[in-house]
Amino acid sequence: PILRVAIMGLGGYGTRVANAMQACTRAKLVGAISGTPSKLTDWQQKYNIPAKNCYNYENYDAIKNNPDIDAVYVITPNALHHDAVIRVAKAGKHAICEKPMAVNAKEGQEMVDACKKADVKLLVGYRMHFEPHTLEIVRMRKAGEFGKITFFQGLSGFVIGDPTQWRLNKALSGGGAMMDIGIYSINGARYMTGEEPVWVTAEETKTNPEKFKEGIDETIQFQLGFPSGAVASCLSTYAMNNLDRFFLDGLNGWAELYPATGYGPIQGRTNKGEINQPVVTHQTVQMDEMAQIILEGKQPIIPVDGEEAVKDLKIIDAIYEAVKLAKKVPLKL
């Protein structure tokens, strides 16, 4: 079976996913949802999408009556994911949602509950969870090749441009660098160590309060503690470049990914040498895998479901809380 997907939000990343999906064998782009009529006509031509599978933000609930669409992939600004996923669930369609799934854990849980109630699947666009170099390190760690895991370091950041973009507008983004890029270090810390954190500490630095207004974090350093005693030390920033690196340390070995999460070739090495794995288009692999998860109940090696994403949101909530209170915040995931 083929998963027939409509994309909602035809912006930068929506276009990247649409292009990558042209090479999919198990998922197919068949529909589009946009507030801009000209984008819909462009997409009809570019991706051979029938006009009857195109909707706008007012009328897309009618997708309920469209038997040719199985799932909607929500790729709009962060704060809009919550309502969109709930409407998709009510229309009886599976939902795939971009990261961050929501702007806090409470909204994320409401999305999980709505999809459960409607008996549809909810997956989150965590493309790294299907990336071969990443999966090879996870395999080696599970096989005990690094020994007892003691430390993870995640560095996630870039210098963000245009100060008027939605990513720097709290009403649409829900937060700053943490929501957008810091989240990669958060779920990286979890899948690289294989543990769930039990406490968080965090400190914020803001060098440009004009650009990064109240509620938009510029730079946050955060630490996570795990039940085994392992710790993670991470940096999330919109004000530094070249930060896209994961480092996992164990008593008998180590692994590094640099770059760890970018679109380009991921590069990795361990104490045993270079990691040689295929270079893939992340979104092509992601959508083919998600089609199998949704249609065939395939179990991914690293989970990508809504419950999984709520854990990341609980950690983000706790990081913001730790910054505000300037103290260690306990976590129970």
What positions carry a catalytic annotation?
99, 184
Q: Which stretch binds ligand NAD (CB under 6 A): 7-15, 112-120, 272-280, 320-328?
A: 7-15
Residues 105-144 that bind ligand NAD (CB under 6 A): 125, 127
Q: Which stretch binds ligand NAD (CB under 6 A): 72-80, 115-123, 187-195, 209-217?
A: 72-80
**308 contributes a contact to ligand NAD by CB under 6 A:** no
The number of angstroms, rounded, from the C-alpha of 281 to the middle of its chain's C-alpha atoms is 16
**12 contributes a contact to ligand NAD by CB under 6 A:** yes
Give which of 297, 258, 313 is closest to 134, Cα–Cα: 258
CA distance 168 to 154: 23
Give which of 247, 206, 202 is closest to 223, Cα–Cα: 202
Sheet holding 273-274, edge to edge: 273-274, 268-270, 253-257, 243-250, 149-157, 231-237, 219-225, 199-205, 329-330
Least distance CB 127 / ligand NAD (angstroms)? 5
Give the sign of the dihedral formed by CA 164, CA 166, CA 168, CA 172: positive
Q: Which residue's Cβ lies closest to ligand NAD?
A: 11
Q: Of 164 and 241, which has the nearer Cβ to ligand NAD?
A: 164
**Site map 179..218 versus ligand NAD, x via CB under 6 A:** -x--------------------------------------
CA distance 69 to 53: 8
Interface residue with ligand NAD, options 9, 31, 174, 300 (CB under 6 A): 9
- Take residue 227 and report the two structure tokens written for it: 């039940």
Give which of 100, 119, 102 is closest to 111, Cα–Cα: 102
Burial state string for 27-44 with b = 16 or more CB within 10 A and e = fewer than 16: bbbbbbbbeeeebbebbe
List the Cα angle 239/241/243 in 5-degree steps. 105
Strand ranges, E, within 88-215: 94-97, 122-124, 149-157, 199-205
Least distance CB 296 / ligand NAD (angstroms)? 23
Residue reference for tokens 């090749």: 145
Interface residue with ligand NAD, options 135, 172, 295, 333 (CB under 6 A): 172
Interface residue with ligand NAD, options 53, 66, 76, 134 (CB under 6 A): 76
**Site map 24..43 versus ligand NAD, x via CB under 6 A:** -----------x--------
**Interface with ligand NAD: number of residues (CB under 6 A):** 19
Q: Which stretch binds ligand NAD (CB under 6 A): 24-32, 75-83, 131-139, 238-246?
A: 75-83
**14 contributes a contact to ligand NAD by CB under 6 A:** yes
Contact positions vs ligand NAD (CB under 6 A): 9-14, 35, 75-78, 80, 98-99, 125, 127, 166, 172, 180
